[in-house]
Amino acid sequence: MSRPVVTPATATHPAAVTAAPNAMTENRKPEIEVARCTGCGRCVAACPGRLLTLEVVAYRKHAVLVKPRECDGCLACLTACPVRAIS
């Protein structure tokens, strides 16, 4: 049984190890765990399509995927998140 190839771009998050190789074919969309999100904005900056934004709800900032249909599942946002709020 072969082990999954871990590249530097996907090595920071366990989910990325298995998700990244099939990301384009599965068209996987990121899911943001709002309670964990700190609103740092790194995922917003990392998205090549500018599909994420920060929203403020009850004085708390968190990331939102505003254009899910345009997301190609590259998972750059997932690897950019320092607190693993994206899966």
Distances (CA, A) of 42 to 1, 2, 19, 22, 51: 36, 33, 20, 23, 13
Name the residue nearer to ligand SF4 (CB basis): 2 or 31. 31
Helix (H, G, I), strand (E, B) or coil at 52: strand
| Contact set with ligand SF4 (CB under 6 A) | 30, 32, 37-43, 46-47, 49, 51-52, 62-63, 65, 71-77, 80-81, 83, 85-86
Name the residue nearer to ligand SF4 (CB basis): 10 or 80. 80
Name the residue nearer to ligand SF4 (CB basis): 1 or 35. 35
Per the CB < 8 A criterion, the answer to whether 29 and 78 are in contact is no
